[in-house]
Amino acid sequence: MIAFMFPGQGSQAAGMGKDWAEGSLVASEYFERANQALGRDLRKICFEGPEAELTDTRNTQPALYTVSCIAARLLFDRGLISDYVLGHSIGEYAALYFARSYDFETGLRLVQKRAEVMAEAASSKPGAMAAVIRFDPARIESICREVSEAEGLPLSVAGFNSPEQTVISGTKEMVEKASAVLKAEGAKRVVTLNVSGAFHSALMSEAQGAFQKVVEATPLRKPSTLFLSNHDARPATDVETLKLHLPRQLTSPVRWTDSLKFLKEQGCQAYVEVGPGTVLGGLLSKFDPDAPCAQLSDLASFDTAVERFKPCLCGLRPQEDDLT
């Protein structure tokens, strides 16, 4: 049994996808399709940056979606498919592309609108995020609640990333206050993240409302591969659930650890980080050091992943429809 994991913001880097596009006509064509759909040169941003432009969430999100979709297509063309797909925050959209819930351009337009409403919310209601290292996630959650209630300002957990890493999100003042409490209570480190807004918090409520309308107007299909939702770390198997969970994800935590627990309980034998970077493999190793995980760098790494994990495919299954 194989799970494909699609990365989120923080995994982007200038140069991502360049080697793939130079060595694969299919990969190059995806960049052309993205440029045409967006009306700007996303390929250049992915390949050259600069960092300030690439880390603008209005570019980061469509860039990660595009590069991750390319990775999924290159694996698929080599015969490697998955039993489960899941994505970290924006990674959910490439996961749903692989699950055939929409075609590439439909997903890209959805991602671009998501990025725009999140950027607008971050501008109108500025906030901050911080990663808490090696401290009880349940206690982090309760501290966020206590600080928020005492001050009357938003603060909450944005991501349960691993047993050793939890991310908090809220106003800058609330994140600073909570960070001081967490350090005093014994957190090994609290690291302020270089982000443009308080994502996955109540400060994104306006974005959630705006994005809900976009999702409602977008034609979606039932996932053809089991898709684990960030919202509750369980399979979202119908369109109605997707249309509820995707907007809610903007104000609710990413339940990554619970998702990995679920996969382990289902007997998952192999994981592939489908996209740029190695963040998700690192989180997996904190959860289960023995879990085999393939990560993709140059084109040769795709062949290595296929050779390594193709024996893990579960028996005979219907032929997957082409990715479009």
Here the tokens at position 162 are 């691993």
Determine contact, residues 228/84, Cβ cutoff 8 Å: yes
Per-position b or e across 91-126, b if 16+ CB within 10 A of its CB? bbbbbbbbbbbbebebbbbbbbbbbbbbbebbeebe
Helix axes 57-77, 104-124, angle to 10 degrees: 160
Distance from C-alpha of 49 to C-alpha of 66, rounded to nearest angstrom: 15
For residue 252, the 8-state DSSP code is: S
Nearest to 2 by CA among 253, 225, 257, 243: 225
229 is catalytic: no
Q: Which of 89, 101, 201, 259 is catalytic?
A: 89
Burial category of 314 from C-beta neighbours within 10 Å (exposed 0-12, middle 13-18, buried 19 and up): exposed
Beta bridge partners of 100: none
DSSP letters for 170-231: E-HHHHHHHHHHHHHHT-SEEEE---SS-TTSGGGHHHHHHHHHHHHHS-----SSEEE-TT
Q: Which of 24, 82, 200, 229 is catalytic?
A: 200
89 is catalytic: yes
Cβ neighbors of 174 (< 8 A, separation 6 or more) are 147, 148, 151, 153, 154, 155
Query: Which of the residues are catalytic?
Result: 89, 200
